[in-house]
Structure 1
Amino acid sequence: MIRFEDVSVTYDDTAGPALRDVDLTVPEGELVLLVGPSGVGKSTLLGTVSGLVPHFTGGTLRGRVTVDGRDTRTHRPRDLADVVGTVGQDPMAHFVTDTVEDELAYGMESLGLPPAVMRRRVEETLDLLGLADLRERPIATLSGGQRQRVAIGSVLTPHPRILVLDEPTSALDPGAAEDVLAVLQRLVHDLGTTVLLAEHRLERVVHYADRVILLPGRGQAPVLGTPAEVMAVSPVRPPVVDLGRLAGWDPLPLTVRDARRRAGALRARLADTPVPRPPRPATADGRVSAVTERLTVRRGRTEALRSVDLTLTAGEVVALMGRNGAGKSTLLSTLVGLVEPASGTARVGGLTPHRARPAELIRKVGLVPQEPRDLLYAETVAAECAGADEDAEAAPGTCRALVGELLPGVADDTHPRDLSEGQRLALALAVVLTARPPLLLLDEPTRGLDYAAKGRLVRVLTGLAADGHTVVLATHDVELAAELAHRVVILADGEVLADGPTAEVVVSSPAYAPQVAKVLAPLPWLTVAQVGQAQ
């Protein structure tokens, strides 16, 4: 169905190819997972299938990509639209209409399908992706995860033979991610659709894949094989595979179910062993960084937050969790002064955020939003860093040092738009961290990050907490919460559903428990690192 023949892609003004010597075939009617570290060319490879690379992105494509017999060198994206449906990392770049229902119908209108067919397919897709309640909503009012589902739905309605998806579950809560992946699997099994997707959260998707393509980077040839074959050699792998390696299991498990069947001896060894917990920083002395009291926020006619009472103290890392649309981003926006409460109060460092002057507030709180491009405006990484140093009145080179820690190997003259989504997020984080705000807010901070980049982020945030900063993460990444957070707050329909120590909250929740907790339940172990310390 998709054939890559000695494909290399080089963008203008870059030192080397973004993609090198790809020679493989993606079979028809299979779900093929594309994995590899950040920046190795996964998005570029996906772009060659739809024709976006090089017709839209520019650069030079060597070799040949054929899709259903069509050569992408001579067929532009519009010539492939009836065969290939594509969703990129940024859903907002995908939308062309204003409402959910119109967006789902737009692709079919472009292909000239009869109105009766369009109506039926829109209804089917609304039900498949749990969007029926949102059909008349303006897209601008949706949460990031809801937009992601609409973007996926808009390419499903024309019934393409090939689906190309870049990080399709990155902004979705665990339940919504399972629903979307189940839909994709059904399309593959029942309709023979070919699905090619790139995803960093392998714990969510690897067990759905028929085959896996690994792009190792550093000039190494791509590897194509079964999930078990590729995970055995991959530098990026889910926690359940790491646990299998640590325990010496052969073959390595790919699912929680496989791991539980082999974990009896490991559970017995750990039963009487205390779980290593990260010590609370000495700076966690009860000083309050922010507080909300009966905080209520309305978005139009919807109560996005309802009577939220929350106290954040110095030195703690708090994970905000909950399904898409629960109010996590709204709470962060309120704390940083972007949203005015309808009732109740919010206080940050003694200030009322929506009334404070920006120059005062930036010294108290910083927000890294879901869309990092909202913070990036310069034409090079060096210029972004220089601007951040000036705005924060920090010593020259402060921001660049943070970029070097979070994004090793990125050149000063790189344009932010040439970075991957995960790399842009790391750059935006460095810009915000330059001011070293006492309260740091991050909205989906691991979106687009591989496991190595996530590890670097964890080290930086752990260091900030140790220095007395309060870190609040709105995240669907249960593995990140297990590894980093002292405390988890779960929101549902704008209300606080649970608030307590991470182990107590996530172990008792099937939806928010990390893979290790599911494998070793009922024992309260959360991460592979904890198990390794006890071995």
Structure 2
Amino acid sequence: MIEFSEVSIAYQGTPVLREVSLHIGEGELALAVGRTGSGKSTLLGAVNGLVPHFTGGRLVGRVTVAGRDTRTHRPRELAATVGVVGQDPVAGFVTDSVEEELAYGMEQLGVTAAAMRKRVEETMDLLGIAELRDRPLRALSGGQQQRVAIGAVLAAGPRVLVLDEPTSALDPGAAEEVLAAVTRLVHDLGITVLIAEHRLERVLQYADRVLTVHDGRVSAAEPAQAMRSAPIAPPVVALGRLAGWDPLPLSVRDARRRAPELRAELPGAPVPAPIEPGAETLTCRDVVVRYGGTVAVREVSLSVAAGETVALMGRNGSGKSSLLWALQGSGPRHSGAVTIRGTDPAGRKPVPRRMLAALVPQSPADLLYLQTVGEELATDRAGEILDELAPGIDPDSHPRDLSEGQRLALALAVQLAAEPAVLLLDEPTRGLDYPGKHRLTALVRAFPGAVLIATHDVEFAAETCDRAVVLADGEVVADGPTADVVTSSPLFAPQVAKILGGGWLTVGQVAGALR
């Protein structure tokens, strides 16, 4: 179905992919894995001709999809064969309601009204979104938006579906819904699916083949074989490597069958490292945020001390982002009080406000507006932070040409260089590989001020955060030590906790105990 023959792709003379040859068969789910900036998005973009017809660059070799050569068939000519859903589904919406969005692509392809109606109904039933038919797209949760985005390209009847980070912005429950829908397409309809995803713990168990992108080369192998030497691996695989399990487990279910032997080697429950928070730095009391008649945050009160790192968790739409913007001072706050070092950030000018609280939003590119990375950095300290998070970025490159993870690292470096009292991060691991997350963890732990992180990444929260606060419908429903909060819910529990229980959260904890 998809064939790469000696394909090399370069931008301005810099090679991104080198001599790639691979075949992805009909009805196969292939998972592209690799470090941030390794070329996964370029690999995906070559499948429907966006690379190089839209992105530019030089392509050598041949890419064919269902027998069509992407050199002679532009993306619009491949639209009926290849459906593409990017990292931000909302950015691809062109209508206002679910049913209109599902029909739009078929209208552009000239599908008859009768066939269009039939396909819309079939697509809604297949993805479980029939009850959303008349809902405004902006009013949907993240998981619902992702399923609608998939449905919008699926309704056109493609034989290939390309998904770039489909679960990166979703809570664990919504991610499971989306992946269940994707696997149904593979198993029931024989659609070929190519996914790039950094959160391998969510996707690996569903893959038929893994495409490892490293140093411009792409190697294909069965998942268990690929994970033996893959440069990045989810916690379940890292635990299997540590325990010497063969074959390596790909899912929590696989690992639990081997877990009794490992549990017997471990001492009692792990003892959390003592936390010595400093002075109370961020405090909010009875904060309320409304959008029209909708209450996003309901009388939330919490405090974060210097040296303390708190995870803000909850379903998509639970009010996490609204709370962060209200705390930072730029977003709406209809009642309640916020103080940072005794000062309310609302109403302050941008520069002094950033020294109180720095916020990196879900779309870090919103903070980047200059022409080169070097201009954005401005100070030596910002450059040092960027090298810690994402080494090797050319200072002359344009910020918009960076990968999602690299843009995040750049925005974070710019914000941290101001040495704020409070650091607010909204989904900071989107687009970051596991080594990048480890570097971010080290940087956050070294930050002397208070840190509040809104995240759906339970593995990152387990490794990084001392405390977890869970929101539901804008209200705080849980607040306590991370181990207590995440292990009390199967939805938010990290893989190691599901496998071993007993208070174990991370592979690092297990490795330390075995040593």
TM-score range, shorter chain: over 0.9
- Aligned residue for 2:511, secondary structure, equals helix
Preserved CA contact (<8 Å) 2:143 2:175: no
Equivalent residue number for residue 438 of structure 2: 455
Question: Identity over the aligned pairs, expressed in percent?
Answer: 61
Residues 415 and 491 of structure 1: CA distance in aligned 2, closer, same or farther (over 3 Å): same
- Aligned residue for 2:241, secondary structure, equals helix
Preserved CA contact (<8 Å) 2:283 2:303: yes
The alpha carbon displacement at 1:43 in A equals 0.4
The alpha carbon displacement at 1:149 in A equals 3.9
- Aligned residue for 1:311, secondary structure, equals strand
Residues 499 and 129 of structure 1: CA distance in aligned 2, closer, same or farther (over 3 Å): farther
Q: Which residue identity lines up with residue 431 of structure 1 in the other structure?
A: V
The alpha carbon displacement at 1:178 in A equals 0.7
Determine if the alignment matches structure 1 residue 315 to structure 2 residue 307. yes
Q: Which residue identity lines up with residue 226 of structure 1 in the other structure?
A: E
Looking at structure 2, the residues matched to 190 and 373 of structure 1 have their Cα atoms a distance apart, in angstroms, of: 38
Mapping 1:254-269, distance limit 5 Å: 254-269=250-265
Looking at structure 1, the residues matched to 480 and 351 of structure 2 have their Cα atoms a distance apart, in angstroms, of: 34
1:114 to 107, 112, 115: 112
Determine if the alignment matches structure 1 residue 510 to structure 2 residue 490. yes
Equivalent residue number for residue 455 of structure 2: 475
1:484-521 deviation line (CA, Å, top 9, x unaligned) = 01011111111111111000011111000000000002
How many residues get paired?
Answer: 514
Q: Which residue identity lines up with residue 498 of structure 1 in the other structure?
A: A
Preserved CA contact (<8 Å) 2:345 2:356: no
1:258-313 deviation line (CA, Å, top 9, x unaligned) = 1111110211222x434142332x4x13x222222222211222211112121222
1:249 to 237, 245, 249: 245
Equivalent residue number for residue 169 of structure 1: 167
Determine if the alignment matches structure 1 residue 278 to structure 2 residue 273. yes
Looking at structure 2, the residues matched to 474 and 124 of structure 1 have their Cα atoms a distance apart, in angstroms, of: 36
Equivalent residue number for residue 436 of structure 1: 419
Please say which of residues 37-46 and 306-315 is displaced more in the overlay.
306-315
Mapping 1:386-535, distance limit 5 Å: 386=378, 396-464=379-447, 467=448, 469-521=449-501, 523-535=502-514
Q: Which residue identity lines up with residue 243 of structure 1 in the other structure?
A: L
Mapping 1:75-114, distance limit 5 Å: 75-114=73-112
2:355 to 332, 344, 363: 363
Preserved CA contact (<8 Å) 1:276 1:530: no
Please say which of residues 16-25 and 477-486 is displaced more in the overlay.
16-25
Looking at structure 2, the residues matched to 232 and 143 of structure 1 have their Cα atoms a distance apart, in angstroms, of: 37
The alpha carbon displacement at 1:121 in A equals 4.3
Looking at structure 1, the residues matched to 451 and 132 of structure 2 have their Cα atoms a distance apart, in angstroms, of: 32
Looking at structure 1, the residues matched to 367 and 145 of structure 2 have their Cα atoms a distance apart, in angstroms, of: 20
Q: Which residue identity lines up with residue 422 of structure 1 in the other structure?
A: G
Preserved CA contact (<8 Å) 1:319 1:473: yes
- Aligned residue for 2:346, secondary structure, equals helix
Computed over aligned residues only, the root mean square deviation of the Cα atoms, in angstroms, reads 1.9
Looking at structure 1, the residues matched to 365 and 145 of structure 2 have their Cα atoms a distance apart, in angstroms, of: 17
1:158-205 deviation line (CA, Å, top 9, x unaligned) = 231100011011001111111111111110110010000100100000
Looking at structure 1, the residues matched to 130 and 260 of structure 2 have their Cα atoms a distance apart, in angstroms, of: 43
Preserved CA contact (<8 Å) 1:146 1:325: no
Residues 406 and 202 of structure 1: CA distance in aligned 2, closer, same or farther (over 3 Å): same
The alpha carbon displacement at 1:430 in A equals 0.5
Preserved CA contact (<8 Å) 1:148 1:171: no
Determine if the alignment matches structure 1 residue 213 to structure 2 residue 225. no
Looking at structure 2, the residues matched to 498 and 457 of structure 1 have their Cα atoms a distance apart, in angstroms, of: 25
Looking at structure 1, the residues matched to 130 and 170 of structure 2 have their Cα atoms a distance apart, in angstroms, of: 17
Looking at structure 2, the residues matched to 165 and 201 of structure 1 have their Cα atoms a distance apart, in angstroms, of: 13
Looking at structure 2, the residues matched to 427 and 463 of structure 1 have their Cα atoms a distance apart, in angstroms, of: 18
1:54-106 deviation line (CA, Å, top 9, x unaligned) = 00001110000000000000000000000100012233442223444432321
Equivalent residue number for residue 341 of structure 2: 349
Residues 189 and 274 of structure 1: CA distance in aligned 2, closer, same or farther (over 3 Å): closer
1:142-167 deviation line (CA, Å, top 9, x unaligned) = 66655444433322222311000110
- Superposition TM-score, scaled by structure 1 size: 0.92
Preserved CA contact (<8 Å) 1:51 1:75: yes
Preserved CA contact (<8 Å) 2:269 2:504: no
1:46 to 40, 44, 47: 44
Looking at structure 1, the residues matched to 373 and 351 of structure 2 have their Cα atoms a distance apart, in angstroms, of: 24
Residues 502 and 200 of structure 1: CA distance in aligned 2, closer, same or farther (over 3 Å): same
Unaligned stretches of 5+ in structure 1? 387-395
Looking at structure 2, the residues matched to 353 and 104 of structure 1 have their Cα atoms a distance apart, in angstroms, of: 43
Equivalent residue number for residue 389 of structure 1: none
Unaligned stretches of 5+ in structure 2? none
Looking at structure 1, the residues matched to 134 and 456 of structure 2 have their Cα atoms a distance apart, in angstroms, of: 26
Looking at structure 1, the residues matched to 130 and 299 of structure 2 have their Cα atoms a distance apart, in angstroms, of: 27
Residues 437 and 141 of structure 1: CA distance in aligned 2, closer, same or farther (over 3 Å): farther
Equivalent residue number for residue 7 of structure 2: 7
Equivalent residue number for residue 391 of structure 1: none
Looking at structure 1, the residues matched to 388 and 414 of structure 2 have their Cα atoms a distance apart, in angstroms, of: 13
The alpha carbon displacement at 1:41 in A equals 0.8
Please say which of residues 355-364 and 427-436 is displaced more in the overlay.
355-364
Q: Which residue identity lines up with residue 489 of structure 1 in the other structure?
A: V
Looking at structure 2, the residues matched to 128 and 352 of structure 1 have their Cα atoms a distance apart, in angstroms, of: 49
- Superposition TM-score, scaled by structure 2 size: 0.95
